[in-house]
Amino acid sequence: MGGRDVVASSQEMGQDLDHVTILRDKFRDFARETGMVGQERVDYVNQTIDELIKAGHTEAAAMADWRDSVNESWADLLELIDTRAQLLQASHDLLKSVCTQMTANGSSMPLTVFGFLCLGSKQD
């Protein structure tokens, strides 16, 4: 589906809280755009093929197979998008929780580790 499956199946989870937040937010935009535009295209393909089949097109069986393949690919992409969104949210929630606990508990963890996980690019 136009390379969007590559983005949706990425394993990148972010290096720190800042990074994972950016990845999560950009992926939300990607998912929203893909969902709207992609569904319109899939609906158009389904409608066009249904009309051609009803009109008695000589390649109706092949078209029906192709339509089924498109719908299956679309469903697979939506599942990948949902999985990636869940993983990014879980990564964000975990890092945020760790950083909150480290801050609240006055963690004895070295400042460099805290800075790496919680401050990311905000470190001086």
Q: State residue 115's pLDDT score.
A: 65
State phi, psi for 107 to the nearest 5 degrees.
-45, 145
CATH number (1.10.1060.10, 1.20.58.60, 3.30.565.10, 1.10.150.130) of 4-122 reads 1.20.58.60
Q: Among all chains, which residue has been given the structure tokens 């469903």?
A: 75
Each residue's pLDDT expressed in tens, for the chain with a length of 124 residues: 678 888 888 888 888 889 999 999 999 999 999 999 999 999 999 999 999 999 999 999 999 999 999 999 999 999 999 999 999 999 999 988 888 887 777 666 666 666 667 766 454 3
Q: State residue 91's pLDDT score.
A: 93
Sequence spans of domains, the chain: 4-122
17 HSE (CA, 13 A, CB side): 17
State phi, psi for 73 to the nearest 5 degrees.
-65, -40
Q: State residue 20's pLDDT score.
A: 92
CB 38 within 8 A of CB 4: yes
DSSP alpha helix (H) spans, 1-124? 4-8, 17-54, 60-104, 111-114
Question: Alpha-carbon distance 27 to 33, whole Å?
Answer: 10
Please state the pTM of the whole predicted model.
0.80
Q: State residue 124's pLDDT score.
A: 37
